[in-house]
Amino acid sequence: MALHIGYEQQPEHPLQRIESGPLNWRVERMSLSKDRTELRYNTFLTLRGIPPDAFEYRLGNRSALEWIIDQYQVSTDKRSGITNDPNRPDDPQYILRLIGQVLHVSLETVRLVNQLASLPLLP
């Protein structure tokens, strides 16, 4: 429980950062590669080395990482014209850090659940 409640205090899962172009931490829309081992953060940054086990921990019908990708994007409501922008001017690397922390929580959760399978059942 503490792992999930304190997800923002968890360490980041290490990912390889492939940087190109001018420095930019802003997210418009992220996307996974077809093999789901890379995350295109923006035109400046791609994150490589996403473990397959990260997709085993699911929130409903998608993994926690897929939920982050879906929720942390700039979008404008067609009816109201209100723009939802998850970027934080006071903490430009927040979303990047969150991705690493969510991967850590996902992988640790999968590890713990797999350990439960080896415990004896009560009679």
Residue showing tokens 């400046």: 44
- 122 pLDDT band (50/70/90 cuts)? low
Q: Say whether pLDDT at 120 is over 70.
A: yes
Q: Say whether pLDDT at 119 is over 90.
A: no
Burial class (CB within 10 angstroms; exposed 0-12, middle 13-18, buried 19+) of 37: middle
Tell me what pLDDT residue 4 has: 87
Tell me what pLDDT residue 25 has: 94
**Contact (Cβ atoms closer than 8 angstroms) between residue 10 and residue 101:** yes
pTM: 0.89
Tell me what pLDDT residue 104 has: 96
| DSSP-derived 3-state class of residue 96 | helix
Q: Say whether pLDDT at 70 is over 90.
A: yes
| Each residue's pLDDT tens digit, 18-58 | 999 899 999 999 999 999 999 999 999 999 999 999 999 99
- Residues 93-110 have a mean pLDDT of 96
Residue 54 has a CB neighbour count (10 Å cut-off) of 22
- From residue 76, give the alpha-carbon distance in Å to each of 28, 73, 86: 11, 10, 12
Tell me what pLDDT residue 21 has: 86
